[in-house]
Amino acid sequence: MNPYHHLVNEVARLAREGRSLPLGGFAPAPRPTPEPAAPTVLVFSPHPDDECIIGGLALRLLRESRCRVVNVAVTLGSNRARQAARLEELRKACEFLGFDLVTSRPSGLEHVNRKTRDQDPALWKSMAARIAEILLEYRPGIVFFPHDQDWNSTHVGVHHLLADALAQTGPGFTCYTVETEFWGQMDDPNLTVELSTADLADLVAAISFHVGEVQRNPYHLLLPAWMQDNVRRGGELVGGQGGAAPDFLFATLYRLRQWTHGRLDRFYAGGRTLPASTPPSSLFGA
């Protein structure tokens, strides 16, 4: 008898049962009081829900290092009829996780993509200036945004928007940058971050607050499987070809660099692996 039939059948059973679980409506998770000396973290989300999907390290920084985490909603999606509802869903998801929320503009930015950057430089410049204002207002120590090959046109656009906005902040502005992946995998992540079952469960629950999105595609239920596959990928992409996978159940991958002297700098060689037992502040010189 093949014992793996039971394993796969149990995975399938849990996936089916997950469809009957409630969407949103949960009481906010416990939120620690921010540590005044801890850096502010800005998460620049291309769409409502990205703050949850890629937010594992940000959540750990909030809970373990007592950082203030602010989600910046760059857009509210391209469907204008859904923007008000998506903003309300986003508010509830951020409240559940303990993230603060700011919008780039009341209805978010629109046309954030490479085409606008190439063909409408005046509009692009105004959008980059708005993002630079947010950066200078919050003076974050850590900034999250998508990597430059994240496939979705808005995700790729947000990468370039952040790069151009950082260039407008002036010579004295420095921060760590954490590039994220969702639609397109990075070829060269340099950081594997373990997620506890409790943190991952809260991220799944937070995605479920985006009711209008997960009703048409229950992708929140697939997040644990993706985090499991990241352990496989991180073992070699971050740990080195032929390396053993870390003894994690769940992980998420990032590219950690530093904005300094007007450029993005890889300030360490090779890759790093952050277990659940190690404070995330150790990544940032603390």
Has residue 56 been placed in a domain? Answer: yes
Does the CA dihedral 184-189-194-198 come out positive or negative? negative
The token pair that represents 155 in the structure block: 């995700």
- The verdict on residue 6 lying in a domain is no
Evaluate whether 128 touches 165 at the Cβ level (below 8 Å). yes
Domain span at residue 193?
Answer: 11-22+37-277
Q: Is residue 29 part of a domain?
A: no
| Alpha-carbon distances of 183 from 27, 50, 79, 145, 213, rounded to whole Å | 30, 11, 19, 13, 16
Task: Kindly report the three-state secondary structure assignment for every residue of the chain.
Answer: CCCHHHHHHHHHHHHHHHCCCCCCCCCCCCCCCCCCCCCEEEEEECCCCHHHHCCHHHHHHHHHCCCEEEEEECCCCCCHHHHHHHHHHHHHHHHHHCCEEEECCCCCCCCCCHHHHHHCHHHHHHHHHHHHHHHHHHCCCEEEEECCCCCCHHHHHHHHHHHHHHHCCCCCCCEEEEEECCCCCCCCCCEEEECCHHHHHHHHHHHHCCHHHHCCCCHHHHHHHHHHHHHHHHHHHCCCCCCCCCCCCCEEEEEEEEEECCEEECCCCCCEEECCCCCHHHHHCC
CATH code: domain of residue 79 = 3.40.50.10320
Q: Is residue 30 one of the residues assigned to a domain?
A: no
Q: How many CB atoms lie within 10 A of CB 218?
A: 16
Flag whether 97 is in a domain: yes
Does residue 246 lie within any of the structural domains? yes
Tens place of pLDDT per residue across the chain (286 aa): 899 999 999 999 999 999 999 999 999 999 999 999 999 999 999 999 999 999 999 999 999 999 999 999 999 999 999 999 999 999 999 999 999 999 999 999 999 999 999 999 999 999 999 999 999 999 999 999 999 999 999 999 999 999 999 999 999 999 999 999 999 999 999 999 999 999 999 999 999 999 999 999 999 999 999 999 999 999 999 999 998 889 999 999 999 999 999 999 999 999 999 999 999 999 997 5
Q: Angle between the 197-208 and 56-64 helix axes, to the nearest 10 degrees?
A: 120
Is 1 within the bounds of a domain?
A: no
Decide if 83 is inside a domain.
yes
The total number of structural domains that make up the chain: 1
